[in-house]
Amino acid sequence: MAMTLRETLQLTVAALMHATGDSQSELADCLGLTQTQVSRRQAGHTAWTLDDCDKLAAHFKLPVLDLLAGPTRACEMLPSERRRAARTARTARQGRAAAAPADAPAVAAQLGRPSFSHDGAGR
């Protein structure tokens, strides 16, 4: 069964948060939301809005269509300076350790959902 755009966006945001090391609180700050509101969107209790999509794309420095194309495409197009590896030096200077990034298919597997690629494979 194909995933809905809503489910695809939830998975994409989860993959991007994992790839960048962003927390729900950090994401909430850039969206002008609370951490609880981000959590509700990620859990599927509340829908992401089109304005949210524009803000998410700007935050992750992606074209909005790459954000909506699914986690594989979004993670492939994520600028290197937004990746967790690039953030490791910053977090190390702040005294926090960061784990190695995982790719979108690994995040999808952890969430029990299929991975998507920009060419439609896996749909």
pLDDT, one tens digit per residue, over 73-106 is 999 999 999 998 766 555 565 665 444 444 556 6
Q: Report the predicted TM-score, pTM, of the whole model to 2 decimal places.
A: 0.71
Separation of alpha carbons 9 and 4, rounded Å: 9
Query: Quick one: average pLDDT of 48-75?
Result: 97
Query: Quick one: average pLDDT of 15-20?
Result: 97
Residues 82 and 20 sit within 8 Å (Cβ to Cβ): yes
From the list 10, 122, 15, 25, the residue with the least C-alpha distance to 77 is 15
Residue 120 burial class via C-beta count within 10 angstroms: exposed 0-12, middle 13-18, buried 19 and up: exposed
From the list 89, 81, 108, 115, the residue with the least C-alpha distance to 18 is 108
Separation of alpha carbons 12 and 3, rounded Å: 12
Residue with tokens 């989860």: 14
- Flag whether pLDDT at 43 surpasses 60: yes
CB neighbours of residue 68 within 10 Å: 17
